Amino acid sequence: MISGLPSAAGTNSPGSQPASCRFAGRPRHVALIIREENGGFPAGGTQAGLATASGVCDGIVPLPYSRTLYENRPCLDDFDKSRLNNPGKECEAVSSDGKPGAEGVDPEQLWLRAAEPRRGRRPSFSREAITAAAVTLADAEGLDAVTMRRVAAEVGAGVMSLYSYTPDKETLLELMVDHVSGELTVTNPPSGDWRADLKTVARLQRAHMLRHPWLPATLSPRRVPGPNTLAFLEHVLAVLRPTGLDGAGKLEVFAQITAFVAGHVAHEIAHAAVSRSPDRVAAEGRYLAAVAADGCHPELAEALAAPGRPLAPDATFARFLNRLIDGLDTD
């Protein structure tokens, strides 16, 4: 599931450091930090897992150079191996703007190269199993529960060994999104009625996101479409062929529909949570009644006085979706 296709990757400006360690010789320094699981930073300064740092030097982890936030360490050289596996901490790459994962995930590294560790003994786990465990965890407890430590515990692995399969949480999220996108299977070819077919696509997406309520929060312009996502996108582009839109126009429609569905599902989930509190619902009703009666909001007062519409989730989604798709302009 994607909200749109990313623009072409930019190139390094003249004189800038390379975006990956995959070149002859080691980089001079790599900025690494440890993030506390509660969002803080350790008082002891920079710490990092040896497996992650090793992955960087082997070209397994694409890690942009960045400003020093705590300290620059030579890649593996003089690395303090006694500071590994600190409980409650996870290793993150810090990009050039100082935000973890702001550069996004390298799609070539993620989708076009081998999924298993390339060195050492035979792998005990698969990337597929690790991803499935993370999805199960997110479905049950939400995205905040998906930490490398928790996922490692679910599959029975050591936390540092997990970094050989997925170097950071951002990469794991990419894998999770594409993993569940495999559920978006479409068996019937497009009917030729693109509006009807597009509504079917949107209904599939809604059901999909309701099964995985963490999905709307993961969709971003940086999300890279994996093989399952691309298969679904291929179907949607075929659905839109009768519109006569060019390629960019079709991609924009897909992004527009996906963004609508994600936003609607996020609201639907939040509304369901609020509805479980009768006192909160009653308080909102009293507040809106007071606002409508204050004389300062005549348009809102008129709208609230109009007959209500069915509030069943399916009916509400259908009304919104019909307005969106029936009003799409393909000129």
Paired tokens of 243: 């519109």
Average pLDDT over residues 262-272: 92
Handedness of CA 316, 188, 216, 249 (dihedral sign): negative
- State whether residue 134 is helix, strand or coil: helix
Q: Mean of the per-residue pLDDT values for the chain? A: 73
Q: Identify the burial level of 138 via C-beta atoms within 10 angstroms of its C-beta, where 0-12 means exposed, 13-18 middle and 19 or more buried.
A: buried
Between 21 and 199, name the one with better pLDDT. Answer: 199
pLDDT tens per residue, range 275-298: 778 888 889 889 999 999 999 999
Residue type, 273: A
More confident residue, 258 or 37: 258
**What gap in Å lies between CA 36 and CA 6, rounded to an integer?**
30
Distance from the Cα of residue 150 to its chain's centroid: 18
Question: What's the pTM value of the predicted model, to 2 decimals?
Answer: 0.66
pLDDT, tens digit, 9 for 90 and up, residues 51-99: 333 333 233 233 332 322 333 333 333 333 333 334 444 444 333 333 4
pLDDT tens digit string along 164-205? Answer: 888 889 999 999 999 999 999 888 899 999 999 999 999 999
What percentage of the chain exceeds 90 in pLDDT?
A: 45
User: What is the arithmetic mean of pLDDT over 107-125?
Assistant: 70
pLDDT band per the 50, 70, 90 thresholds, residue 229: very high
List, as one string, the DSSP characters of 68-107: -SS-EE-SSTT--GGG---TTEEEEEB-TTSSBTTT---H
Owner of token pair 């509190």: 277
d(CA 301, CA 294): 9
